[in-house]
Structure 1
Amino acid sequence: MPPINVIRNALVAGSAERRPAVLWALASLALSMLLSSLGTSIANVGLPTLAQAFSASFQEVQWVVLAYLLAITTLIVGVGRIGDIIGRRRLLLAGIVLFSVASLLCGVASTLGQLIAARAAQGCGAAIMIALSMALVGEAVPQARTGSAMGLLGTMSAIGTALGPSLGGVLIAGFGWRAIFLVNVPLGLLTFLLARRHLPVDRRGPQTERAGFDTLGMLLLALTLAAYALAMTMARSHFGPLNIALLLAAAIGAGLFVRVEVRATAPLIDLAIFRDPGLRAGLAMSALVATVIMTTLVVGPFYLARALGLDAPFVGLAMSAGPLAAALSGVPAGRSVDRFGAPRMTIVGLIGVAAGSCMLSVLPTRLGISGYLAPMIVITASYALFQTANNSAVMTATRPAQRGVNSGMLGLARNLGLITGASVLGAVFALAAATPDIATAPPEAIARGMRITFAVAALLAAIALTIAVASRAVATRPVRDEFSVGK
């Protein structure tokens, strides 16, 4: 289904006068999410070609991907806060321009160092686009359709993730590696024109809500997150003294950040917001579920290739089933959230993720490829429902002045979960397989690692489900107490 039809179907309510404006405003936000997710997945497929083009090792060209992810992870909360201060529409337009210009610089880079630097700049633009696209939903879409809009953004993110490897392969085969970056330039221009024309103009809030920016807090948070992300991403081969030093630096940085925020007159993150159990639960669940999702991406290719003996094209085809299921279920998930409520659908989504993880730990070794695909579809469709419901619950409960930073924290929680999943559960997989080299491990070792790893993933999903149930109980308790007092 063409993206514009997805957008039109996502918003079937609203006045006839407003509907076209809402449609095109949402189209610009959807394209922002599409481009940012495409920027992640399309580069992975080009790493072998880049290694050959620049006569570099895999470890060196891997920074083409890491630079992008690190920029998003370290900046997403800070840019959300800047949007709250100077205006979200204005900053989103600047982020789209930065992303597009950086894509052009990636496409014309003559050295690997230039390409990595341009990718870091592209990640900065992507951080702005991710954080502010969700934050602007509350201003561009009627509140009754927030769930549908969040579902659409999730759908476009999934489409970008699923489309990246196949589109990247076609572009590299037909036009060379530069095309995987240059393709973003016309798409970025279209996104900019739609956003500039149709997004609502920033409304200047009270002066107290437009206080100065916490530069020291932003710097400390960025360095802390960078240290943690590097410790996790560099731990794939081995966890040595450098990784421990980076984790220690991250812990010290986190302590300093909290101390600075407590004393700041205009903190980057008002720590008082963490008194809200709904926000705490939403962030924790987002990180836990993202860890499970990354596990499917890390373990899946090894299992399909080594245990089931599939050739590379069939591995790619099987791996695309998950993102495709998420893309198709995003808009229906949004409608379900609008109809039945975010708390209930959060629980339903988590039940699906936990059930799918349990199935993945048991079925593939008995049923082969069908035993892999069915649980994967359950997990990813349930993830689309969970993400839509959780994002809707957090953002609808957020004060307008805090939408940017809260949206950024949701993105941060997801990114930290992805990074942790790739490292920690990747290590669990290697340990469970009990082999020095996963790439050459026998099928029975891979199958054993698969079972144990997804048993751990199911446990993480069960913890998230427990958090969701407890959070809903806390949220409904005051209503019952007030009713009892009234009687």
Structure 2
Amino acid sequence: MADIAQTRAAPLRHSTAGALAGLSLAMLVSSLGTSIANVALPTLSAAFAASFPAVQWVVLAYLLAITALIVSVGRLGDVVGRRLLLIAGLTLFSAASFAAALAPSLAMLIAARAVQGLGAAVMMALTIALVGETVPKQRTGSAMGLLGTMSAIGTALGPSLGGVLIAALGWRSIFLINAALGAVALLAAWRFLPGDKGSGIDRAEAKGAARFDMLGTLLLAATLAAYALAMTMGRGHFGGLNMALLGGAIVGAALFVVAEAKVASPLVKLALLLRDPVLAPSLAMNALVSTVMMATLVVGPFFLSRALGLGDAATGAVMSIGPVVSAFCGIIAGRVVDRLGAAAMIMAGLVLMVAGCVALAVLPGVFGVVGYVAAIILLTPGYQLFQAANNTAVMADVDSSERGVVSGMLSLSRNLGLVTGTAVMGAVFAFAVGTKDVATAAPVAVAGGMVFTFAAATGLVALAVAIAVAGRRGRIA
């Protein structure tokens, strides 16, 4: 009888393929949750008789929750167990998605989206962290490439799937599909992910980290939320409120640094972070290249429609090429990383991105849409190669007690790059065009803004190359 009881209490049989499928689906669903809601904003504005700035919070609440909490939930996974917390995050995401689908008011919908974002933060942070526990080390690059592919598919699928569902079944269906997919990912994670070794308390005490850093969590969440709001509010106009929020973020960051230096078990070990020859440069590069990639989404539609004269449908079709290429080349990029090594492929990916940015500044003005597409096809694989290699390099030698928080920092650096890119690259483009209302600018001015913006983007990626070179020299020395 004791043997039977032990068998029932033992973790379910672990399958690498099944576990990776569960992690991939979790990554896809969390990305889909971001992009699928954007297309519903006009419908939600009509359904709730609300202004566009009000319904924007359906998107912002989700993004803010992810940005503010992704490092903290990663650390919590290190303490209580990553499998346990991922299952809890998937459960929360699915339940919040169902609540969003049933929301009777805009306020309730926004609240449900914030909770959904918390679940997504858990999923984004811990899928990368759990790769080291489910996949052999020599296949880490392939796994990272697969996760990148699933993220790209989720982002690309959102607008088209959301449009079809809203037209056929109404806006509530876009949240029901998230609930259903989240439930499938939950079942896969429950069935196939390996069990956490020992209790969370045992592991935490063994590492001297028995208590979760609540003060650091609150300070970091407030700081990141203030920064994200400063970069996104105002719809491209940086006014007094944005400045106040940015000031608040700076003060919050200073308080966070002071607090982390005093607690016994800090959320982020800042001294180790600054001394680490791999992690700090990787986070900086990740933020820089994500800022550049956001420039294609911010500037691209204006250039295609205003400078090249494409209609809405044609603009949408051209803009979908980047995510489609990203989805196809992610797995290939991961396999290349496994074969040729992460350090070399980080540099190769960045060089491709430099070439892609130069091409975006030059080719569209000469060859029109063909030149734009050619440049995107050059830039996007470079980004995917960099992502797979960078994630692999960072997670390769991370102590098992730190995988969650480090994975969270990787995801955070990417999100901060995307948020910053929305504001900063948009401001650079508007400055180069010479008008605040880019939508009515002359085609020649928009074309000039395109050239200037991607010349600046080339400089940002060149800075990432310099960081990569300095990091390699530092490791050799």
Whether TM exceeds 0.5 here: the answer is yes
Q: Does residue 157 of structure 2 align to residue 163 of structure 1?
A: yes
Q: Does residue 188 of structure 2 align to residue 194 of structure 1?
A: yes
Rounded to whole Å, the distance in 2 between the matches of 1:439 and 1:180 is 29
How much does 1:358 deviate?
0.8
Partner amino acid for 1:271? L
Rounded to whole Å, the distance in 2 between the matches of 1:159 and 1:44 is 16
Rounded to whole Å, the distance in 2 between the matches of 1:236 and 1:432 is 18
Deviations 1:296-334 (A, max 9, x none): 011111111111111111111111100111111111111
Q: Does residue 24 of structure 2 align to residue 30 of structure 1?
A: yes
Correspondence for 2:359: 359
Correspondence for 1:218: 217
How much does 1:470 deviate?
1.3
How much does 1:20 deviate?
8.2
For structure 2, the residue ranges without an aligned partner over 5 or more in a row are 1-12
Correspondence for 2:249: 250
2:107 counterpart (94, 110, 113):
113
Deviations 1:173-223 (A, max 9, x none): 111111111101221111111100100000123623242100000000000
Which deviates the most, 270-279 or 457-466? 270-279
1:68 counterpart (21, 46, 62):
62
For structure 1, the residue ranges without an aligned partner over 5 or more in a row are 1-18, 478-487
Q: Does residue 308 of structure 2 align to residue 308 of structure 1?
A: yes
Partner amino acid for 1:207? E
Partner amino acid for 1:230? L
Is the 2:204–2:211 contact (alpha carbons within 8 Å) kept by the matching residues of 1?
no
Rounded to whole Å, the distance in 1 between the matches of 2:210 and 2:377 is 46
* TM-score (ref. length: structure 2): 0.95
Partner amino acid for 1:390? N
Three-state SS of the structure 2 residue aligned to 1:398 is coil
Rounded to whole Å, the distance in 1 between the matches of 2:374 and 2:115 is 39
Runs of 4+ in structure 1 over 6 Å off: none
How much does 1:272 deviate?
2.7
1:100 counterpart (80, 84, 94):
94
Rounded to whole Å, the distance in 2 between the matches of 1:206 and 1:213 is 9
Correspondence for 1:389: 389
Deviations 1:202-250 (A, max 9, x none): 0123623242100000000000011111111114332222111111111
Rounded to whole Å, the distance in 2 between the matches of 1:240 and 1:436 is 13
1:144 counterpart (138, 141, 145):
138
How much does 1:411 deviate?
0.6
Rounded to whole Å, the distance in 1 between the matches of 2:343 and 2:286 is 14
Rounded to whole Å, the distance in 1 between the matches of 2:173 and 2:204 is 46
Deviations 1:53-108 (A, max 9, x none): 11111111111111110000000000000000000000000000111011111111
Is the 1:435–1:445 contact (alpha carbons within 8 Å) kept by the matching residues of 2?
no
* TM-score (ref. length: structure 1): 0.93
Partner amino acid for 1:437? D
Deviations 1:124-180 (A, max 9, x none): 000000000000000011111000000000000000011111111111111111111
Q: Does residue 241 of structure 2 align to residue 269 of structure 1?
A: no
The residue correspondences of 1:366-381 to structure 2 (distance < 5 A) are 366-381=366-381
CA gap 1:422/1:206 in 2 versus in 1, 3 angstroms? closer
Is the 1:131–1:407 contact (alpha carbons within 8 Å) kept by the matching residues of 2?
yes
Deviations 1:34-67 (A, max 9, x none): 0000001111111111111111111111111111
Partner amino acid for 1:260? A
Rounded to whole Å, the distance in 2 between the matches of 1:447 and 1:45 is 27
Is the 1:236–1:426 contact (alpha carbons within 8 Å) kept by the matching residues of 2?
no
Rounded to whole Å, the distance in 2 between the matches of 1:458 and 1:285 is 13
Which deviates the most, 402-411 or 231-240? 231-240
Partner amino acid for 1:234? M
Rounded to whole Å, the distance in 2 between the matches of 1:424 and 1:120 is 25
Deviations 1:365-399 (A, max 9, x none): 11110111111111111111000000000011211
Is the 2:79–2:204 contact (alpha carbons within 8 Å) kept by the matching residues of 1?
no
Q: Does residue 20 of structure 2 align to residue 21 of structure 1?
A: no
Deviations 1:239-277 (A, max 9, x none): 222111111111111111011111101111112321102
Correspondence for 2:8: none
Is the 1:236–1:427 contact (alpha carbons within 8 Å) kept by the matching residues of 2?
no
Rounded to whole Å, the distance in 1 between the matches of 2:351 and 2:292 is 13
Three-state SS of the structure 1 residue aligned to 2:36 is helix
Aligned residues: 459
Rounded to whole Å, the distance in 2 between the matches of 1:249 and 1:435 is 29
Correspondence for 2:442: 442
How much does 1:446 deviate?
1.0
Deviations 1:389-444 (A, max 9, x none): 00000011211100000000001100110000000110111111112311121211
Is the 1:308–1:369 contact (alpha carbons within 8 Å) kept by the matching residues of 2?
yes
Task: Give the % identical residues.
Answer: 60
Q: Does residue 281 of structure 2 align to residue 281 of structure 1?
A: yes
Rounded to whole Å, the distance in 1 between the matches of 2:222 and 2:205 is 30
Correspondence for 1:231: 230
1:179 counterpart (168, 173, 177):
173
How much does 1:453 deviate?
0.6
The residue correspondences of 1:309-324 to structure 2 (distance < 5 A) are 309-324=309-324
